[in-house]
């Protein structure tokens, strides 16, 4: 239906429903009232569904439409493997629990209308789904299982609790154990399973690579570049031309380096640094991707669709084709490369006192690794220092400036959560052979410090120019979550000061400093992190809470993040004579959509990365069933607790596996308490576990406590000894009687 006509009809319906004498009616009754012919009744239903999805009207269980009720809400359904689920309401911190008998056959991801039931005092809200407004999932990935005359697909994502029925003629020849992409044709009902067709066979579950490819397909991450993009690559040169260099600031004589991981191939940032008369000149030189990716070109449209490069354990799925990401756009050693540079003047206290943004041409002197730079500035390694002797003075200068910048961030209250990331090493067949924490050293941190400085400088510059822009925003935490955090840390004797309306990040930084080295450090750090909001892209400069800065954007990675590429385009256009009214209007119209798409793409990439890490961790632990490890309790639920091992692998100890008592969960204190023994398990507590099971399909690792069984065995041994002593005493007594 045409948008204008739809809006007009919506207003007619709203006027009727909101009129004083209106009594809730069914679709048929409204159709009769409005003289809508039977053959056009689907159009009336479309209008009613639109109003429902906007929350402007409500519908009862009997299908009668009326005014919106405070008891009826609209949200997104999140399923659970056990049949129940939750409805997440946009803008609300607390979700609504949906029992299994009240889901109305909703599937994970559906947009639904939920009616609140009366909730018990002190418990979370409970509701019933009364209407599914929109199915947001049309395809699923799962394992095909074949019967004689039909098949069905068990979804990989256990939030989809129902199997998908597949007619045999729609199976595409799939056999037992095939991982497939299934397109849902019928979402089913109370007595009928959802039905679909096999759209693609990924491979057999035993084939190398099928596991990770299944996650890629599940997250709908594009792999192959379309023909239009491949064709456009023919017009892009392999080397920088003299025509491209014309009019740029020539920095090829500046001493410049890239510092990245050993395996990195898409090098999008380079650094130069000098110091004169107590003043540092820091150059952050970023690949000028927009010189080759023109607005609305096939390359640009595909980059926006992807939003970000995705870094998985066995591969990188790039945002841009390799000809760009590893070639002409990558700041490779010894080659002329186009850059957009932010050159900052910094005083002896680490304050940025001036800056210049310019289109430049650079030539990187050396491609450095974090390991090599750390050996030079952290370990004073003679061999490494001799190898790069012409660069050592600059590296020492970098360490000096980095410390100043980091100290200034710390002073203003920036928060640094230093949880270890995982490094998963695979063999040639994709099997995990080693998992360990990724080591973050001073070389990593100095690059972070310089990138943060450039991102803040660019964001502040464009904020004051009042031009359309994309900002990286991390909003202030919800007051309710901070109050819960405050109540929790009071149990340990800590407190935080709340402002009139919110909390300053410095208070959380102070808290993390106070708990450093204490037994409760891991526990309170995790709870503090969970109190924070998720960072996202916005067109308004709302500040970055975690970094304690008013101005922040993403400028430094245009090869792998679309928001950076987008703002490069704005900056360059502004450098070439400023943005005219027409272009300002253009950017104001497209940037909200770019912010929404790229924020969603980032979440998708994060989920894929987490899922592949979990998959390989599960596979790794499947070969270690029965082995024992020391770990730390990292999470709590009412059905068990998560334990994290030193190598970053996390598994669950289920309450049902704890044999010495019945345990209940204390939500206020994040504790599991034994009803009889009064044993208490807390977040951050060190425990010894034994690997019980590892289910690769569910990406789930189960542990059990090893020390409890040992303790029980010790007690039984003590009892046996005591019994033996009693027996001996009895024997001796008997002899004496005789």
- Domain ranges in the chain are 1-68, 139-207, 227-475+533-612, 624-713
pLDDT one-digit tens code per residue, 670-688: 788 888 888 888 877 889 9
501 pLDDT band, cuts 50/70/90, is: low
Q: In what order do the strands lie in the sheet with 279-287?
A: 249-250, 352-363, 336-346, 279-287, 269-276, 257-260, 366-369
Give the other-Cβ count within 10 Å of 729's Cβ.
10
**Number of neighbours of residue 72 by Cβ within 10 angstroms:** 21
- CA angle, 231 as apex, 226 and 234 as ends, to 5°? 140
Residue 6 and residue 11: Cα distance in Å, rounded?
9
Q: CA 20 to CA 12: how far, in whole Å?
A: 15
pLDDT in tens, 305-338: 999 999 999 999 999 999 999 999 999 999 999 9
For residues 199 and 522, the model is more confident at: 199
Q: What are the backbone dihedrals phi and psi of residue 158, each rounded to the nearest 5 degrees, phi first?
A: -75, 5
Q: What is the pLDDT of residues 709-725, one digit of tens each?
A: 455 455 555 656 666 65
What pLDDT is recorded for position 735?
A: 34
529 alpha-carbon distance from chain centroid: 13
Which are the contacts of 360, defined by CB distance < 8 A and separation ≥ 6? 248, 249, 250, 251, 285, 338, 339, 340, 341
d(CA 344, CA 540) in angstroms, rounded, equals 24
Highest mean pLDDT among 9-13, 114-118, 275-279, 415-419 belongs to 275-279
pLDDT (0 to 100) of residue 712? 47
The more confident residue out of 116 and 542 is 542
pLDDT(731) > 70 = no
Instruction: Say yes or no: do domains 1-68 and 139-207 share a fold.
Output: no
Which CATH code fits 624-713?
2.40.50.140
End-to-end, the C-alpha distance of the chain in Å comes to 107
pLDDT exceeds cutoff 70 at 125: yes
- Pairing type for strands 650-654 and 700-705 reads parallel
- pLDDT at 204 > cutoff 90: yes
Both tokens of residue 185?
């044709």
Residue 732 has a pLDDT of 43
Q: What is the dihedral of CA 215, 219, 224, 227, to 10 degrees?
A: 160
Lowest mean pLDDT among 96-110, 181-195, 239-253, 412-426: 412-426
139-207: CATH architecture: Beta Barrel (2.40)
Give the list of residues 6+ apart from residue 381 with CB closer than 8 angstroms, or none.
Answer: 375
pLDDT in tens, 561-609: 999 999 999 999 999 988 899 999 999 999 999 999 999 999 999 999 9
- The pLDDT score that the predictor gives to residue 70 is 66
**Which pLDDT does position 668 carry in this prediction?**
75
The per-residue pLDDT for 736 is: 33
pLDDT of 1 strictly over 70: no
* Per-residue model confidence (pLDDT) at position 177: 92
* Fold of the 1-68 domain: Arc Repressor Mutant, subunit A (1.10.10)
Backbone angles phi, psi at 137, to 5 degrees: -115, 120
pLDDT of amino acid 482: 86
CA distance linking residue 101 with residue 284, whole number of Å: 58
- pLDDT of residue 738 exceeding 60, the answer is no
> In the predicted model, what is the mean pLDDT of the chain?
89
Q: What is the pLDDT of residues 36-83, one digit of tens each?
A: 898 888 889 888 888 887 778 888 878 888 887 767 788 899 998 888
| Average pLDDT of span 488-493 | 82
Question: Three-class SS string for 338-378?
Answer: EEEEEEEEECCCCCEEEEEEEEEEEECCEEEEHHHHHHHHC
Are 75 and 90 in contact by the 8 Å Cβ rule? The answer is yes
Euclidean distance between CA atoms 358 and 539, whole angstroms: 23
pLDDT in tens, 399-438: 999 999 999 999 999 988 767 788 999 998 889 999 998 8
Q: Please tell me what DSSP assigns to residue 40.
A: G
- b/e per residue, 509-528, with b = 16+ CB within 10 A? bebbebbeeeebebbbbbbb
């Amino acid at each position: 239906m045409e948008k204008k006509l739809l809006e007009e009809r919506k207003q007619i319906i709203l006027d009727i429903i909101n009129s004083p004498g209106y009594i809730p009616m069914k679709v048929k009754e409204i159709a009769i009232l409005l003289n809508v012919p039977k053959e056009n009744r689907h159009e009336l239903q479309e209008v009613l569904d639109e109003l429902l999805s906007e929350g402007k009207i409500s519908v009862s269980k009997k299908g009668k439409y009326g005014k919106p009720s405070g008891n009826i809400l609209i949200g997104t359904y999140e399923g659970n493997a056990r049949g129940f689920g939750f409805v997440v309401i946009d803008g609300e911190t607390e979700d609504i629990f949906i029992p299994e008998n009240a889901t109305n056959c909703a599937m994970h991801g559906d947009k639904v209308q939920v009616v609140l039931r009366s909730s018990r005092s002190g418990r979370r809200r409970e509701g019933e789904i009364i209407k599914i407004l929109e199915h947001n999932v049309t395809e699923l990935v799962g394992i095909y299982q074949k019967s004689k005359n039909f098949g069905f697909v068990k979804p990989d994502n256990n939030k989809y609790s129902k199997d998908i029925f597949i007619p045999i003629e729609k199976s595409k020849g799939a056999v037992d154990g095939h991982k497939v992409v299934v397109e849902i044709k019928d979402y089913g009902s109370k007595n009928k399973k959802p039905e679909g067709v096999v759209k693609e066979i990924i491979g057999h579950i035993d084939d190398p690579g099928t596991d990770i490819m299944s996650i890629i397909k599940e997250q709908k991450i594009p792999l192959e570049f379309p023909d239009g993009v491949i064709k456009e690559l023919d017009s892009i040169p392999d080397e920088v031309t003299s025509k491209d260099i014309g009019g740029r600031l020539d920095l090829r004589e500046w001493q410049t380096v890239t510092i990245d991981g050993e395996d990195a191939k898409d090098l999008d940032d380079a650094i130069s640094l000098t110091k004169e008369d107590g003043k540092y000149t820091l150059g952050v030189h970023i690949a000028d991707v927009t010189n080759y990716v023109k607005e609305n070109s096939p390359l640009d449209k595909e980059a926006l669709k992807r939003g970000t490069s995705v870094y998985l354990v066995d591969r990188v799925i790039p945002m841009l084709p390799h000809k760009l990401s590893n070639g002409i756009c990558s700041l490779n050693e010894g080659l002329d490369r186009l850059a957009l540079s932010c050159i900052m003047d910094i005083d002896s206290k680490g304050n940025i006192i001036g800056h210049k943004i310019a289109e430049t041409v650079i030539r990187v002197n050396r491609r450095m690794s974090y390991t090599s730079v750390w050996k030079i500035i952290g370990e004073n390694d003679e061999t490494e220092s001799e190898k790069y002797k012409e660069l050592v003075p600059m590296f020492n200068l970098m360490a000096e400036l980095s410390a100043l910048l980091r100290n200034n961030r710390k002073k203003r209250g920036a928060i640094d959560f230093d949880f270890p990331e995982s490094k998963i090493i695979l063999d040639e067949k994709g099997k995990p052979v080693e998992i360990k924490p990724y080591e973050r050293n001073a070389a990593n941190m100095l690059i972070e410090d310089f990138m943060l400085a450039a991102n803040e400088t660019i964001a502040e510059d464009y904020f004051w120019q009042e031009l359309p822009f994309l900002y990286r925003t991390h909003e202030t935490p919800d007051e309710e979550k901070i109050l819960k955090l405050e109540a929790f840390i009071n149990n340990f004797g800590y407190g935080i000061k709340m402002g009139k309306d919110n909390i300053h990040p410095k208070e959380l930084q102070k808290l993390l400093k106070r708990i450093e080295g204490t037994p409760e450090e891991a526990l309170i750090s995790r709870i503090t992190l969970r109190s924070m909001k998720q960072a996202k892209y916005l067109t308004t400069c709302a500040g970055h809470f975690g970094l304690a800065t008013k101005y922040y954007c993403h400028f430094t990675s245009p090869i792998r993040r679309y928001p950076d590429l987008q703002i490069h385009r704005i900056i360059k256009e502004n450098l070439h004579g400023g943005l005219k009214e027409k272009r300002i209007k253009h950017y104001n119209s497209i940037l909200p959509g770019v912010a929404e798409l790229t924020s969603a793409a980032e979440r998708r990439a994060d989920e894929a990365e987490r899922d592949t890490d979990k998959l390989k961790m599960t596979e790794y632990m499947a070969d270690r069933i029965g082995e024992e490890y020391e770990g730390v309790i990292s999470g709590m639920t009412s059905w068990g607790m998560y334990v994290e091992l030193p190598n970053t692998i996390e598994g669950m100890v289920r309450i049902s596996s704890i044999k010495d008592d019945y345990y209940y969960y204390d939500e206020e204190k994040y504790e599991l308490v034994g009803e009889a023994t009064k044993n208490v398990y807390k977040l951050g507590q060190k425990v010894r576990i034994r690997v019980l099971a590892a289910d690769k399909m569910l990406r789930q690792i189960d542990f059990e406590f090893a020390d409890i069984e040992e303790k029980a065995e010790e007690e039984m041994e003590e009892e046996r000894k005591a019994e033996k002593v009693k027996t001996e005493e009895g024997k001796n007594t008997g002899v004496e009687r005789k």
